[in-house]
């Protein structure tokens, strides 16, 4: 049986708490407090935080700890550019490689997102899960191991926060739904150029909305 290191075990536990909302976006993770909580020295804590930063779950605060990734404002320009381009490539490849049944499923999922965008009771978290479901399915249909190895780590971290900030309001969710319909129709038409352009436009729209949302710190305010 493979033994999991203390640092990896701690990192996995922190990820679980981020995913369940026990640790909120923007929250500070202090090395000293974490060391006391997990009953280890600061070495494994520092190693765990560095591994989380590599997957964009947190941004490091040298000498102090880290903060949970909050918005595109916490992500450098390279991250955003790479995320946009890789996501677009996934739809381009899907347009060429998807089977007729897979094209039907992509359109069905896009229509489901469109219906959800009109639901006044829909929460940003629930809507984000639908969009990530479609994004993940398109990545699978793209059938590119190299591309998947690049995108999956981004999906685990910074892109999750970026997407959630981009769908905070009903108008934003409706706009996102329209973009997903454009992506789905382009894939159905086997138009790789159009599919890539539509997916990049979707991501750019989410980034801009998330940047605006990040100005309203009270949405995710965490007491110091």
Residue 21 confidence (pLDDT): 72
Confidence of residue 224 (pLDDT cuts 50, 70, 90): very low
Query: pLDDT tens digit string along 12-69?
Result: 889 878 766 788 878 999 999 999 999 999 999 999 999 888 766 788 877 778 988 7
Question: Which residue intervals of the chain bear CATH 1.10.10.10?
Answer: 6-68
Among left, alpha and beta (phi > 0; psi -120 to 50; other), residue 157 is: alpha
Q: Are 188 and 106 in contact (CB under 8 A)?
A: yes
Q: Are 57 and 14 in contact (CB under 8 A)?
A: yes
Question: Which residue intervals of the chain bear CATH 1.20.120.530?
Answer: 74-218
DSSP label at residue 76: -
What is residue 216's three-state secondary structure?
coil
The larger pLDDT score, comparing residue 160 to residue 109, is at 109
Q: Which fold has domain 74-218?
A: 1.20.120
* Average pLDDT score over the chain: 82
Q: Are 195 and 186 in contact (CB under 8 A)?
A: yes
Residue 141 confidence (pLDDT): 95
What are the residues whose beta carbons fall under 8 Å from the beta carbon of 193, sequence distance 6 or more? 92
Cα–Cα distance measured from residue 127 to residue 119, given in angstroms and rounded to the nearest whole number: 10
- Where are any strands of DSSP class E within the chain? 28-30, 58-61, 65-68
Residue 217 confidence (pLDDT): 34
Residue 207 confidence (pLDDT): 72
CATH top-level class of 6-68: mainly alpha
Average pLDDT for residues 174-181, to the nearest whole number? 95
Residue with tokens 């309001």: 169
- The length of the chain, given as a count of residues: 224
What are the residues whose beta carbons fall under 8 Å from the beta carbon of 178, sequence distance 6 or more? 114
Query: pLDDT tens digit string along 83-94?
Result: 788 989 999 999
The pair phi, psi for residue 187, each rounded to 5°, is: -65, -40
Q: 49: which 2 tokens?
A: 């935080």
What is residue 10's three-state secondary structure?
helix
The yes-or-no verdict on residue 215 having pLDDT over 70 is no
Residue 4 confidence (pLDDT): 64
Q: Are 195 and 95 in contact (CB under 8 A)?
A: yes
């Amino acid at each position: 049986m493979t033994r999991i290191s203390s640092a990896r075990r701690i990192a996995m536990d922190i990820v679980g708490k981020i995913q369940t909302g026990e640790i909120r976006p923007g929250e500070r993770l202090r090395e000293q407090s974490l060391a006391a909580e997990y009953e280890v020295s600061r070495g494994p804590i520092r190693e765990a935080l560095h591994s989380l930063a590599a997957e964009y779950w947190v941004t490091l605060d040298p000498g102090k700890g880290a903060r949970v990734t909050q918005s595109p404002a916490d992500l450098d320009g390279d991250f955003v550019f790479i995320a946009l381009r890789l996501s677009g490539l996934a739809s381009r490849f899907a347009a060429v490689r998807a089977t007729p049944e897979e094209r039907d499923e992509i359109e069905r999922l896009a229509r489901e997102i469109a219906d959800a965008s009109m639901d006044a009771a829909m929460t940003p978290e629930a809507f984000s899960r639908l969009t990530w479901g479609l994004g993940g399915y398109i990545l699978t249909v793209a059938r590119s191991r190299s591309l998947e190895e690049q995108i999956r780590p981004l999906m685990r971290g910074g892109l999750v926060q970026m997407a959630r900030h981009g769908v905070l309001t009903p108008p934003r969710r409706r706009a996102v739904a329209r973009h997903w319909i454009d992506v789905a129709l382009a894939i159905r038409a086997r138009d790789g150029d159009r599919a890539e352009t539509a997916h990049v436009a979707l991501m750019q729209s989410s980034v801009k909305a998330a940047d605006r949302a990040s100005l309203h710190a009270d949405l995710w305010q965490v007491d110091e």
